[in-house]
Structure 1
Amino acid sequence: MPGKSQTHTDAVLNLLRGTTVNGISPFVGLFSAAPANDAGAGTELAGNGYQRQAATFGAPATDTGNVRKISNTSNISFGPSSSAWLQAVAFGIFDAETSGALLYWDVLPTPKTVEQDDYGQFAPGSLVVKED
Structure 2
Amino acid sequence: MSALSDYLENKLADHILGGSDYTRPATVYLALYTAGPTDAGGGTEVSGNGYARASVTNNNTNFPGASAGLKANGAAITFSAATGAWGSITHFAIFDSSSGGNMLIHGALTTSKVVETGDVPSFPIGSISLQFN
Normalising to structure 1: TM-score of the pair? 0.89
Matches within 5 A, 1:35-46: 35-39=37-41, 41-46=42-47
Structure 1 residue aligned with 2:120:
119
CA–CA distance in structure 2, aligned partners of residues 79 and 113 of structure 1: 15
Structure 1 residue aligned with 2:70:
69
SS in 2 for 1:27: strand
Structure 2 residue aligned with 1:5:
5
Q: Is 1:60–2:66 an aligned residue pair?
A: yes
Moved more, 122-131 or 6-15: 122-131
User: Displacement, 1:2?
Assistant: 4.5
Contact 2:2–2:130, Cα closer than 8 Å, also in 1: no
SS in 2 for 1:17: coil
Normalising to structure 2: TM-score of the pair? 0.88
Q: Where does structure 1 differ by over 4 angstroms across 4 or more consecutive aligned residues? A: none
Q: Which runs of 5+ in 1 are unaligned?
A: 63-67
Q: Is 1:20–2:21 an aligned residue pair?
A: yes
Structure 1 residues 71, 2: closer, same or farther in 2, change over 3 A?
closer
- Cα RMSD over matched residues? 1.4
